[in-house]
Amino acid sequence: METVSLAYDLTLALLAALIGGSIITRLGLPALTGYMLAGIAVSSFTFGPTVGDTTTINLLAEIGVILLMFGVGVDFSLRQLRDVQRVAVFGGGGQVLLTIGLGIAVGTLLGWTWGAQLFFGCALALSSTTVLLKILMDRGELGSQHGQITIAISLVQDLSTIVMMALLPALSVVQEGTTPLMQIGWSLLRTIIFLGLMLVLGTRLYPWLLARIVRRGSRELFLLAVVVLSLGTAWLATSVFGLSLALGAFVAGLVVSESDLHYRILSEVLPIRDVFAVLFFVSVGMLINPVFVWENLGMVLLISVVIVLGKFLITAGALWWFAYSRRTILLTAAGLAQIGEFSFILAELGRGLGVVDNYLYSLILSGALASAIATPFLMRGVGPLNDWLDRVMPVRERPAAALPEVPRGLRDHVVICGYGRVGQHLVEAMQEVDTKYVVIEQDWIRAQQARDAGSIVIYGDASQPSILSGAYLERARVIAVTVPDPALQRFIVQQVRTICPNLPIIALARQVDDLPYLYNDGANDVILPSFEGGLEMLRQTLLRLGITAETIQGYVDTIHARRYEPWRNTSADAELLACLRRASQGLTIEWYQLRPDSAYEGRTIGSLNIRQQTGASVVAIVRHNEVLVNPEAGTLLHGGDRLAVLGTEDQRQQFVTWLGDGELGVTVPSRLFAPVEVEEATV
């Protein structure tokens, strides 16, 4: 009967999570909030089906906590902090300390014990990585500047949990009257010894052990090894060093995060981690009593306001000293204005240690649920808030000190807004074709990287007119907007179109929904990387199926037009490009190989009058390891030469017929960028 009861409880909890998560995500909210609401629905505080054995569910939820923290540790990488290390360390560290101070101040006003004050401050300082990633991915802003800053600060918060989890056990002893400094110092010393042991042994023993198991080729053994390492390290941290299970699991993940098996570990542990983690969030929801929320509605609202508004203002203040636009600061502050899974873990740990009573515990859980629901709406309101602030508190435009670096006589150049991956590719291309260009970048680290690469760089926000004017847009040939933030892209396009109505603008869109907005803002061409990558995959696939290049080009052009032309501005340039595209549909290159004993050995290209006879042209010759591009009329042909012939299908067929049977090898579709790799079978 116990087995049947356990099966019923697990099925009910997971079914409720499935329904709750599905409904919440359709509303544009993080699934985490749906899991917590599902927990409330199946708890003993509400009507309807109820989970009977909460003890077993909580035990499984503890496993979920361990696997969750282990997964966070494995996925944690200091490399993610490098691009924004300055704001991550100083801004993130300042945000954590200031938020802890806010928690202590609020707890003092409400008359809580000093241990509860400090604990509330620590729980308040941590944001939900799960909620952050979900919101940023849904908005297509994971690679944006505010997305990078938000994730970097979140990683700093994750690191701060090591200290917090080390202090909480000491707090439970301090409340019994023991000397606070002695207990806190002893707890920190145990943590340092544990971290040192894991750094020495874990970075050597764990990767070595996992590597040996991988060689056996058994996925089950590898998964078992990963689970044993995470649970075993958590047990070691608790039983030997007196630390928390969650801290031990997090450190276990950290020590293997830089190993070669990093992604393999994640792929194996993520599925079972997610199932157990869902149970953890459901179990948290089961502890929220709707009656308690109603009876203490004023206090719950106060705590929720402290979490959302307090963290928003503190984060914005901590970032104000850095050279970021107001909008970037507001979006980062809005994203971090909630608490989540780490706060739940601290809350559970604190309650188990007796530092936090059930009243404060329920307040924190209720506030966490409210803040997770409020965060997406807060981020949506950043745009109107930023517009209002621009009207009442205009941002002082910076006559950037970097402006004099741009030569005053610069003209016929390309302006590149953003030095991310796409911007770097453009810079390399401009250098290859010896074209003048200017890079505008508002991230200091990337601006320095661009300068080191030999670029002329303007450091600043490209949406500011003073920064754009320093790039001499009126004398530029084209501007490429490659910044990843969709809203910032629109601001830049609007400003450029206002300053230079006739300057061609090429913008990079992150998702299909951005196309009409960017075209309406004035962009001449908008590139959708995921769509363009799919077209190239289609092109290469059809080539391997033996379909002619002109047929593929016509098909690809049709798909291309369906995607872009409904929003593309009608202009002379756009129509000319379309005409060129249509004209090129039947014009392709194919390779032919002369026989080794060809009758044309020693003849010049000019003496054969190929173009006059057939309409086709020989545009390249591959001879051994030598490539002759646009060969002159006096170029001699040799037996075994591979000829690149440009023309329509009819013109190429006339070339084959005119040259004579038996003179050529088998034709192969052109690989324009690697002709020496084309293999023909000589006949």
For the chain, the 3-state helix, strand and coil shares in percent, each to the nearest 5, are 65, 10, 30
Query: For residue 94, how many other CB atoms are within 10 A of its CB?
Result: 19
Q: What is the pLDDT of residue 675?
A: 34
Query: For residue 550, how many other CB atoms are within 10 A of its CB?
Result: 15
| pTM for the model | 0.60
Residue position matching structure tokens 């013109």: 651
Q: What is the pLDDT of residue 670?
A: 37
What tokens were used for 307? 């979490």
In sequence order, the 6+-apart residues with CB closer than 8 A to the CB of 558 are none
- Using CA atoms, how far apart are residues 243 and 167, in angstroms rounded to an integer? 9
User: Kind and range of the H or E element at 507?
Assistant: strand 505-508
Mean pLDDT by 10 residues, the chain (683 residues): 70 88 82 85 83 72 73 65 68 87 90 82 83 68 72 78 70 51 68 78 76 80 82 79 72 72 72 76 83 89 91 89 79 86 77 80 86 84 81 60 62 90 89 89 79 86 82 90 82 89 87 82 85 81 76 72 63 48 59 81 85 83 78 85 82 81 49 33 29
Q: What is the pLDDT of residue 565?
A: 65
Class of the CATH-defined domain 418-527: alpha beta
Query: For residue 592, how many other CB atoms are within 10 A of its CB?
Result: 21
* Same-fold call for 418-527 versus 588-677: no
Q: What is the pLDDT of residue 619?
A: 83
CATH number for the domain whose boundaries are 588-677: 3.30.70.1450
DSSP state of 402: T
Task: Give the 3-state secondary structure of residue 155.
Answer: helix
Q: What is the pLDDT of residue 402?
A: 41
> Angle of helix 341-353 relative to helix 145-174, nearest 10 degrees?
0
Question: Phi first, then psi: what are they for 199, rounded to 5°?
Answer: -65, -40
Nearest Cα neighbor of 379 from 517, 487, 511 is 487
Q: What is the pLDDT of residue 205?
A: 80
CA distances in angstroms from 78 to 382, 401, 458, listed in the order given: 29, 32, 28
Q: What is the pLDDT of residue 399?
A: 43
What tokens were used for 419? 């030095």
- Using CA atoms, how far apart are residues 167 and 174, in angstroms rounded to an integer? 10
Instruction: Name the burial class of residue 457, with classes exposed (0-12), middle (13-18) and buried (19+) by CB atoms within 10 angstroms of its CB.
Output: buried
Domain range list for the chain: 57-387, 418-527, 588-677
Q: What is the pLDDT of residue 663?
A: 63
CATH number for the domain whose boundaries are 57-387: 1.20.1530.20
- Using CA atoms, how far apart are residues 523 and 341, in angstroms rounded to an integer? 42
Question: Phi first, then psi: what are they for 566, rounded to 5°?
Answer: -60, -25
Q: What is the pLDDT of residue 678?
A: 35
- Using CA atoms, how far apart are residues 326 and 322, in angstroms rounded to an integer? 10
Q: Which alpha helices (DSSP H) does 500-639 contain, by range? A: 514-521, 529-544, 549-564, 572-584, 605-608, 610-614
Q: What is the pLDDT of residue 105?
A: 92
Q: What confidence tens digit (pLDDT) does each residue in 166-184 have?
A: 666 665 555 444 455 666 6
Residue position matching structure tokens 């031990």: 248
